[in-house]
Amino acid sequence: MRVIKVSGPQEGGRVACDILEDCLGKGAKVLGLATGSSPISFYEEICRRQLDLSEVTSINLDEYVGLSPDSPQSYRHFMEEHLFQHRPMKANYLPDGQAEDLEETIEAYDSIIENHPIDLQVLGLGRNGHIGFNEPGTDFDLKTHLVSLAPSTLEANARFFDQPSDVPKQAISMGIASIMSAKTVLLLAYGQEKAEALAGMLQGPVTEDLPASVLQRHSDVIVIADQDALSLC
């Protein structure tokens, strides 16, 4: 894994954008995208540079179950606000968290991923080491699946909702097998609250107890992190 130390999210967003431009220059056509605070400066930089993404397809990692796409807390809404409405793309896929038949929507999402091999997968890092919504204990071989969110994730994500009890308890997440099939993985981590998970991911054993540790088995991973996130390394 290549670790690039940056001063904070602003520099991290610029470095991530350089990497994206490099991938696009080499013909990348499919991006795996993430939500959360970590990729925001990256999306801002894409907008600032006015990158042409009109030939690019995006596939997001995850979506809450039960939220409408218009709900301000849905990941579809997040992506529209931070990227899609500013930089139109060929297609933007996110799991349909409101589907009546979740099994069907999960299978359909795997087909989308199979038909669009991911060139560059952007990831944030959960405080408990999750990637996407693959919580500790998730089988590394899983593809898209329904997730019951860990208590620590419900707590961490409560800041985006009016009340902690409003955080959906379930989500649909791309699986670790799909994340690992991406050609290049770009993980962004900023702040002290990521330090433990990042140290475990970079230096600990590969274990399902810390899902991000699986990235040690991937041949092309770039980590962009600040000093606080790297403080336990």
Active-site position among 44, 96, 119, 135:
135
Known catalytic membership, residue 115: no
Query: 62-64 and 170-173: which strand pairing?
Result: antiparallel
Considering beta carbons, is residue 50 or 211 the nearer one to ligand GLP? 211
Q: Name the DSSP class of 149.
A: P
Per-residue tokens: 227: 């000093």
Residues in region 137-156 near ligand GLP by CB under 6 A: 153
Question: In the bound complex, what is the minimum distance in angstroms from residue 122's beta carbon to ligand GLP?
Answer: 9
Among 44, 45, 62, 63, binds ligand GLP (CB under 6 A): 62
DSSP secondary structure letter of residue 190: -
The single residue among 19, 24, 30, 34 that binds ligand GLP, judged by CB under 6 A, is: 34
Q: Which residues contact 219 (CB under 8 A, 6 or more apart)?
A: none
* Other CB atoms within 10 Å distance of the CB of residue 33: 25
User: Which token pair is 182?
Assistant: 């991406």
CB nearer ligand GLP, residue 43 or residue 133: 133
Of all residues in the shown chain, the one whose CB is closest to ligand GLP is 124
24 is an interface residue for ligand GLP by CB under 6 A: no
Span interacting with ligand GLP, options 13-21, 29-37, 195-203, 221-229, rule CB under 6 A: 29-37
Which residue among 42, 78, 109, 133 contacts ligand GLP (CB under 6 A)? Answer: 133
210 is an interface residue for ligand GLP by CB under 6 A:
no
Q: How many residues does the chain have?
A: 233
Residue with tokens 């040690």: 216
Question: Least Å distance between CB 41 and ligand GLP?
Answer: 11
Please name the residue ranges forming H helices in the chain: 9-25, 40-48, 75-79, 102-115, 151-157, 176-180, 195-203
Structure tokens at 95: 């799991």
Binding site for ligand GLP (CB under 6 A): 34-38, 61-62, 124-126, 132-133, 153, 157
Active centre residues (catalytic): 62, 128, 130, 135
